Structure 1
Amino acid sequence: MTAVEINFDGLVGPTHNYAGLSVGNVASQANFGETAYPRAAALQGLAKMRAVMDLGLTQGFLPPPMRPAAGALRPFGFGGSNNEVLARAASEDLALFRAVCSASSMWRANAATVLAAPDTADGRVHLVTANLAGMLHRSFEGPETHDLLRRVFRDETRFAVHGPLPSARHFGDEGAANHMRLAHRHGAAGTNVFAHGELRGGAFPERQSRRASEAVARLAGLTDPLYALQNAKAVQAGAFHNDVVAVANENVLLTHPEAFEDAQGLYAALHGRLPNLHVVETQGVSLADAIASYLFNSQLVTLPDGAMALILPVEARENARVWAEVERIVAANNPISQAVVVDVRESMRNGGGPACLRLRVPVDDAAKAGIDPRFILDEARWDRLTRTVEAHWPEAIAPGDLTDPALWDQARAAHAALEQAIGA
């Protein structure tokens, strides 16, 4: 089966801010209280999408949900108009209020786990919406994301969109950020690898539950997936998702040597299933450098000519040790032959690199035709989104701005303008 992989990037929402909500995310914690620049953040993300389009690849986008999410506060006993609900929450429970202002849905690698049609029991692409149970601000996203995915992947003969697992820590599910698929090519049957944590103590939580991964595999009817325990050392260094220390594409696994608790066992199992597998372990890159530069949170994509490109954040180029390793990998051409550097600094400062911003969806031609075309970018749609952001997104948000009703009104107006742009 011939298939391509479409990257659906999250459009950064108009309330992008630095509230330090993500425990275990080093950048999020380090930049708490700084001024954020939502317009620049969204434009940086759009520029990255354009860079992927310029490589000859199909590029999609996923819009943000409405924030601040006044409706999410009502079950906690806050009543009145939306502005009254928000004002009271800001006064009585500032941490909860900040959670419903978060623009964290930009990191669409956490939207769902995507299981390719050749691997599933019914031959459809399955998307299992993540519950994101480990973090309060992200736990509000599940129902909204489920509705959005059903809107975008609307052909039920080609796509099965599942709701999030029951939201409990025992079934914490962080989506595609802890899932890798390896295959000879996107349209061939592949091996699904689910990376997960354990309750091992430590300062930082291990967010992905193996039981959640097993449930996702059952929902899609996968046969014989692999489960790989994350290295506790990597988690406690700040690799809160596996995609901070490893990335896979077709028959290539680019990984830090300390990404997995039993790396050699995982490699052996993968080689047994995929004889032409390329395991590319980095050399001389510490966990600290990997996490600071987000080397592995790069997009590894297959180009139209069959070669692969690594789409990296500019922070990787600014780290001499990391960039030397990138140059070594590209020179080896195994088969990563190109490095493309993008600037997503606003996202990086909140702990999300190029790979965090996108959800990978492999589709054949028939499935691609079942996607709502309004969410696939062409020149005109990209221009329309860019103009919408330039006209309606706030330029800057300082911590104190979150409680300003004028910002809430501006965010609502921005969402209305975005919906109009999508519908055009």
Structure 2
Amino acid sequence: MKSYEVNFDGLVGPTHNYGGLSYGNVASQSNSQQSSNPKEAALQGLAKMKALMDMGFQQGVLAPQERPDVAALRRLGFAGSDAQVIQRAAKEAMPLLVASCSASSMWVANAATVSPSADTADGRVHFTAANLNCKYHRSIEHPTTSRVLGAMFADQQHFAHHAALPAVAQFGDEGAANHTRFCRAYGEAGVEFFVFGRSAFDSRYPSPQKYPARQTLEASRAVARLHGLSEEGVVYAQQNPAVIDQGVFHNDVIAVGNGEVLFYHEDAFLDTDRMLAELSNKIAKVGGKFQPVCVPRSAVTVDDAVRSYLFNSQLLSRADGSMLLIVPEECRGNERVWNYLQGLTGSGGVIREVKVFDLKQSMQNGGGPACLRLRVALNETELAAVNPGVIMTAPLYESLTQWVERHYRDRMTENDLADPQLLLECRSALDELTQILKLGAVYPFQIN
């Protein structure tokens, strides 16, 4: 039976803005308060989805969230009609309104952790929505994320869904941004690689000093238990706290893996030699041959990696067994990074080609190609069981492009977030989107 890695990309929401909400994310903070372009952001994301589909890769789409989140503001004491809640929040607590308007759900690498059926005890694909409790504006996402994923992967014979972990610091979970999977083929048993920034209960693990470590070891272990993963099918590794303090807020800012390949920076991890040996040994036991590709600090500094998002790239398997690397335009704009990539693809190694995409609107808010996609390994039967409305096709691309053109603004500032009309625009857009994607009622305004 054939198997695939399907990339479900997040559709950028109508309230895309530069709120500077993500402490520890250099791009998010440095571009705070600039004017954004939601329409351009959504169209840039759709263009990447369409391009990968045209290259022959399986591609899907994941819907954005309802914003502003008026219900979240009500829980914080703002009362009255929807318009009154927004106006009062703008007057009394603008940072809370900005947080309630965040379009950060576009970065669906943080939506959930996914384990394919070949790895799990019950032979189903397992999803655990990430609690994202390190940042308030993201912590309010998981209820809608769970409903959307449930509408996309609804067949209980093939798919299992778990609620987000307890929303406390000890179980901080950032989803697939700190998780990858190695395998010989997507339909075969693999080794799942969980990367954590700190331990909540074990003081032997060091912590960063400047920026928060968002993923805990305890959360990663809990997800592995929920998904029914075997001890032989899991490897845990700690991020280097020093690189977290340089802006590497998730592992996918400093490393990316696919198939049998790990593409990583020399300074990405602690105890790297032990980790590589464990990965090599366990991947060999499931019939694979581990291929680590280390980028030396002498060629690309951590600062280069953070500013270019070299590692926040998509590593895709091609039919001939070679790898294609999807990188943002910012990589071409960094001389050291671009020189390294030219040498890499010309070396005859497994990564043979680099394709560049303009994702400036997302990049300025701190998310590159890898942030925008949730990877789901599926066999033919499971792929057929996915809601067909969310699988990218040429007609769906045209429908979504026209939908964006109808509903999205081409400019967004902080002052625009205080406009109650924005909520009505967002709801109108999302109501139509659920019909296009055949999701049913997944948003609070559709349910209540």
TM-score (norm: length of structure 1)? 0.98
Matched, 1:239 2:248: yes
Map 1:228-377 → 2, pairs under 5 A? 228-275=237-284, 276-283=289-296, 284-377=299-392
Unaligned runs of 5+ in 1: none
* Cα deviation digits, residues 272-321 of structure 1 (max 9, x gap): 12342110011310000001000000000112343221010010111111
Give the corresponding residue for 1:227.
Answer: 236
Letter in 2 for 1:278: Q
Equivalent residue pairs, number: 424
* Cα deviation digits, residues 125-166 of structure 1 (max 9, x gap): 101100001000000001110111000001111111111011
Mapped to 1, the partners of 2:368 and 2:20 lie a distance apart of 16
Matched, 1:206 2:213: yes
Give the corresponding residue for 2:18.
Answer: 18
Matched, 1:85 2:75: no
Letter in 2 for 1:64: P
The Cα shift of 1:50 comes to: 1.0
* Cα deviation digits, residues 242-265 of structure 1 (max 9, x gap): 000000001000000111011111
Matched, 1:30 2:30: yes
Letter in 2 for 1:260: F
Q: Is the 8 A contact 1:278 1:334 kept in 2?
A: no
> Residues 355 and 201 of structure 1: is their aligned pair in 2 closer, same or farther, counting only changes over 3 Å?
closer
Give the corresponding residue for 2:203.
Answer: none
The Cα shift of 1:75 comes to: 1.7
The Cα shift of 1:332 comes to: 2.6
Mapped to 2, the partners of 1:179 and 1:416 lie a distance apart of 32
Identity, % of aligned pairs? 48
Matched, 1:218 2:233: no
Q: Is the 8 A contact 2:7 2:60 kept in 1?
A: yes
Mapped to 1, the partners of 2:433 and 2:408 lie a distance apart of 10
* Cα deviation digits, residues 93-126 of structure 1 (max 9, x gap): 2221111100000000000001111111111110
Letter in 2 for 1:279: P
Letter in 2 for 1:277: F
Mapped to 2, the partners of 1:185 and 1:15 lie a distance apart of 39
Letter in 2 for 1:330: T
TM-score (norm: length of structure 2)? 0.92
Give the corresponding residue for 2:442.
Answer: none
Map 1:86-165 → 2, pairs under 5 A? 86-165=86-165
RMSD, matched Cα = 1.3
- What secondary structure sits across from 1:165 in the alignment? coil
Mapped to 2, the partners of 1:154 and 1:201 lie a distance apart of 40
From 419, 433, 443, the counterpart of 1:404 = 419
Unaligned runs of 5+ in 2: 199-205, 440-448
* Cα deviation digits, residues 392-420 of structure 1 (max 9, x gap): 10110012111122323322222233234
- What secondary structure sits across from 2:53 in the alignment? helix
- What secondary structure sits across from 2:118 in the alignment? helix
Q: Is the 8 A contact 1:56 1:303 kept in 2?
A: no
Letter in 2 for 1:282: V
Mapped to 1, the partners of 2:15 and 2:294 lie a distance apart of 38
Matched, 1:76 2:37: no
The Cα shift of 1:201 comes to: 4.4
375-384 or 302-311, larger mean C-alpha shift? 302-311
Mapped to 1, the partners of 2:321 and 2:402 lie a distance apart of 34
Give the corresponding residue for 2:201.
Answer: none
Mapped to 2, the partners of 1:111 and 1:261 lie a distance apart of 26
Mapped to 1, the partners of 2:417 and 2:140 lie a distance apart of 18
- What secondary structure sits across from 1:119 in the alignment? coil
Mapped to 1, the partners of 2:438 and 2:197 lie a distance apart of 41
Mapped to 1, the partners of 2:291 and 2:211 lie a distance apart of 31
Letter in 1 for 2:389: R
Mapped to 1, the partners of 2:320 and 2:173 lie a distance apart of 35
Q: Is the 8 A contact 1:270 1:277 kept in 2?
A: yes
